[in-house]
Structure 1
Amino acid sequence: MNIPSNSHPINSAGGPDLSFGNSFPKNGTVIARQFGGLSRVLSDGSTFTVGLGFVANKRHIVVAKHTAAGELDLNFGIWHMDTDELTTLVHLTIQPDGKPLLLAARGNDSAAFIIRFNAQHGDVDRSFGIAGTRDLGKSIYTGLLPRGGLAVQADNKIVSVFHDGAHSYIFQLSASGELINFGNLGPIESPNTLLNTLLITHGGFVIGGTRVGTTNARRAHMRGFLANGQPDSKFGQEGVVELQFSNSENKQISALAKGPDGQIAVVGGSYYLPSEMNFLASVLADGQANPQFNGGNPLESSAGLYAYSNVVSQADGKIVVLSRTQTGNRVVLIRHEMTGQLDLGFGQQGTAVAWQDPQGRPERALIDTLELVQPGEKLQSSGVLSSDRESFMGRLLS
């Protein structure tokens, strides 16, 4: 993979959004000190961050908000709550009413729980679950990224998917945080799969990850469901899609994104490190290969030091991939046309640098989130810097 430098013409696609940042002058980057966490953009361009920090040497979950310009929202403040020393943040999403919803794991057994915060001030929403939290009764495998998915259905019910290293679980909660699990006593279980990403679709939802075969080979695996949790027999082959590659073993799906007409952009690569191959694919709403994208085949590329971690699909059908080094000290965005060809008008020959360690160090970072910011479909990448002590948000023009 040939990665260019981080210099871009001002006000061009792939260049920094100079109206955003928390430095003077603004440079398109926000570094939030004292806590590292997960960020999500709101409809007005502001950003919620739920992170982990220390107060008086005790670990806390920290909730903060930055304005659309990237400055800390002083009217919102910073909310702290005690948490287990072994808490891991897994996935953050924003409900339609603006409330942040967090999937996390705690303790030595990485016990899964969901917690909801109020939109106005970031305090715990005690109307959710039991005093704001719902324990799920299963363990999350907190090793490789991604670790799990969390999303809200059209009727405000909540769906979550994750795995424990051997089997996958799909939970459904009511809008108030009660476990309803599609009318079942427990979650939907999917043995011998490692499913960890979730996309709400027009008719239900799709989950993705990898399937463990009889020879322990891992294959990029998607499953389609109706909104009521029943398998969607019209998706792929009886609800299942397994992408085909030149060598289909040792592959996993890292992220899904909904595009025009229900198309789904799919990214991933090698399951084991170091990564050998990345892929970008496009399937139709029914799970069949999109014939307009790369002739209906996944677009494979040599990974080098990089791995495809996230993806968004723009309104015009262009697909943007977030690709990061193994340590995360360098993150780039790669934009493709609807046909799969590189968009040469973006960044330098289709690639723009979203983050790189300013000292050139192999400093570990977990910048693995990519979102579209309205208006203008600016591209925001975000994640954790400096050993969980800082949060990063960066915006590029699209």
Structure 2
Amino acid sequence: MKIVGGGLVALATSLAAASAFAWPGALDLTFGNRGKVVTDLGAQEHAHAAVLQPDGRIVVAGESRMSVPAGQFALARYNPDGALDPLFGTGGKVLTTIGTLAYAGALALQTDGKLVAAGGADAAFAIARYDASGILDPGFGSGGIVTTAIGDFAGATAVAIQPDGKIVAVGDSTTATNADFALARYDTSGNLDPTFGTGGVVITDLVGYDHAHAAALQPDGRIIVGGSTDTSFALARYATDGSLDSSFGTAGTVVTGFPGQIAALALLAGGKLLAAGKASPAGFALARYNSDGSTDATFGTGGMVTSRFGNGAGSYPDAASALVIQSDGRIVAAGSAQPGYSTSLFGVMRYEADGALDQTFAPCAAVTTPFPPVGPLGARATAVLVQPDGKLVAVGTTDYDFALTRYVGSGGASACTPATSGKANLKLRSATGRFHPHITWGWTGVDPVIGDFGDPTAGTDLTLCVLDGSGANRLAGTTPADPCSTGGSCWRATANAYRYAVAGRLAGCLNGFSRARLRVRAVGTATIRTQGGVCGFGVPSPPLALPVVVRLQRDDGPNCWEATFSHPSENDLREFTARSD
């Protein structure tokens, strides 16, 4: 792993046993292994899509590739507890060979329980339909498979099922000089629908290099496609016959001055449309549009919201890939988060209906989840589902394996234990001259026991975050539980302490941390010291908006500690120094 930047974090604290509580965003420990599931399908896998069946089982679709140009559609089905479903395919897994560079980029569930996977193979759209047990449907295409060449190279990234059973696949069509939105519609047998576009195919040039990543089907049958043109958010809406809908945007298309790309779409009440994706150069980006394609000025700032998982003013690959709307109207976005300067994690944020970050969602107003051992490829969520009980399932990839997590989705705000008045201190310094950026935090409260930290040698991840007065997450870092990296263990336990160290300069600092110590002393105080040397920690540059809140949480139990700082003695371009309220 390439290591970039540098930093130092030192935390000294007296930690307390927090009262038992659960908060939205906490890992659901009844799912898989302490809230996480990792599945190796035998090669190099990437998960791209997921659906939730009415019986609570989860189906994931993606690709499995041993080498280039080989590739297969890959599906896996999980029971509600996260275990692979042996009634699906072989041991819960299905691999389908279609052609070279095959991948399933999207997945849809028909009303009859059949599964439609759409993606690419042999430089063409590729669609496969499976019955409920994972067997290819012989009544669809040729042995359950359909391929459609569109341009020199094409691939599908989204799929939708119309009420009449017709299948709409959406993606890109590229040539040597251009890339365009591409759509194809198929009847229930897999034949191209001649009533749609030209021979069942539609190609739309939005002037630039256009890439479609998402689709939504309106109740009236119109189709909305989202993606990017060059480096801007882009949308197109089509009538039921595939023609552009002139009542939407300019002649059926919308190019918004939001730099980035749309990765997911959701229809809202009243005909409004919500898009989520990656802001440029980095960050979760949400945009809301009125039914005519104009931006909704009542959402965020000018119709758009951007959020980060810390990192100060740096440019790192936080990006939303998936979107779901809860029954209460709150918005959940999932994707990749890189709170330090190294590998990425699953990242999940929740927003109020008006685009404000939901401050009740986890102590840090965001969730980052590593999948130890943390390898150089990291983890990224590409789908998010909401169960009928409100729990949230994020699906994606960790180091070439399918990965899933399930989080608590409802409940009260996190009840972090506050520091005793005036007994916490914070010093945060930006990078200046020969000094690395660093943070020192001290917390004093009621007496702890070592068990309050959980057990980082066997599954407990610890996260530190700094929130400013705007509610933004200005700094976040995680020390992953063992096995912390592909290099082996990082944690060591003693009678009253846990020590963390990443071995070797080239092993990398996992999200800003290279060393940590959690120790409970006989007098009831505890110390935490965390250090990054050759890697960075994304420390934000002061001045910071007040008040500033620092929180430390464990991901698998009801323990969280916080301190609030409203009256700093220094808050300038170089340093923030304060004692707690």
TM-score scaled to structure 1, two decimals? 0.81
- Corresponding residue for 2:347? 332
Matches within 5 A, 1:22-37: 23=33, 27-35=34-42, 36=45, 37=47
SS across alignment from 1:150: strand
Where does residue 51 of structure 2 map in the other structure?
40
1:275-317 deviation line (CA, Å, top 9, x unaligned): 3454211123332333431254212346633112222122222
After the TM superposition, which residues 1-398 of structure 1 pair with which residues of structure 2 at under 5 Å, given as runs? 11-21=22-32, 23=33, 27-35=34-42, 36=45, 37=47, 38-53=49-64, 61-78=73-90, 79-84=94-99, 86-107=101-122, 110-119=123-132, 121-138=133-150, 140=153, 148-165=157-174, 166-183=179-196, 184-191=198-205, 192=207, 193-203=210-220, 204-212=222-230, 218-245=231-258, 250-270=259-279, 275-276=281-282, 278-294=284-300, 296-301=302-307, 304-325=316-337, 329-353=344-368, 355-373=369-387, 375-387=388-400, 390-398=401-409
* Matched letter for residue 86 of structure 1: L
The answer to whether the 8 Å contact 2:289/2:303 transfers is no
Q: Which residue of 1 aligns with 2:535?
A: none
**Number of matched residues?**
363
Residues 125-160 of structure 1 show CA distances to partners (whole Å, capped at 9, x for unaligned) of 010112211111125567xxxx62111112211111
RMSD: 2.9
Deviations 1:165-199 (A, max 9, x none): 41221111112211015343251111242222111
Please list every run of 5 or more consecutive structure 2 residues that lacks an aligned counterpart in the other structure.
1-19, 309-314, 410-581
Larger radius of gyration: 2
Q: Is the 8 A contact 1:266 1:280 kept in 2?
A: yes
> 2: distance between equivalents of 1:315 and 1:97?
24
CA distance in 1, matches of 2:138, 2:21: 46
In structure 2, C-alpha distance between the alignment counterparts of 1:10 and 1:347, rounded to whole Å: 12
Residue 241 of structure 1: how far off its partner (Å): 2.1
User: Distance between the aligned counterparts of 1:278 and 1:52, measured in 2?
Assistant: 25
Identity %: 25
Q: Deviations over 1:354-376 (max 9, x none)?
A: x3132344334443112222x12
8 Å Cα contact 2:371-2:398 kept in structure 1: no
Which moved further from structure 2: 192-201 or 355-364? 355-364
Report the counterpart of residue 4 of structure 1 in structure 2. none
CA drift of 1:53 comes to 5.0
CA separation of 1:397 and 1:298: change in aligned 2, threshold 3 A: same
CA distance in 2, matches of 1:297, 1:132: 42
Which letter maps to 2:228? T
Distance, in Å, in 2 between the alignment partners of 1:294 and 1:135 is 41
CA pair 366-181 structure 1, distance change in 2 beyond 3 A: farther
Summarize the Cα distance change of 1:244–1:99 in structure 2 as closer, same or farther, 3 Å threshold.
Answer: same
Counterpart-to-counterpart distance in 1, 2:326 and 2:272: 11
Residue 5 of structure 1 corresponds to which residue in structure 2?
none
- TM-score, normalised via structure 2 length: 0.57
Offset at 1:70? 1.4
- Counterpart Cα distance in 2 of 1:223 and 1:377: 32
After superposition, the Cα gap between the structure-2 partners of 1:223 and 1:82, relative to the gap in structure 1 and judged at 3 Å, is closer
**What letter corresponds to residue 369 of structure 1 in structure 2?**
A
**Which has the bigger relative contact order, CA under 8 A and spacing at least 6?**
2
- State the distance in 2 between where 1:195 and 1:59 align: 22
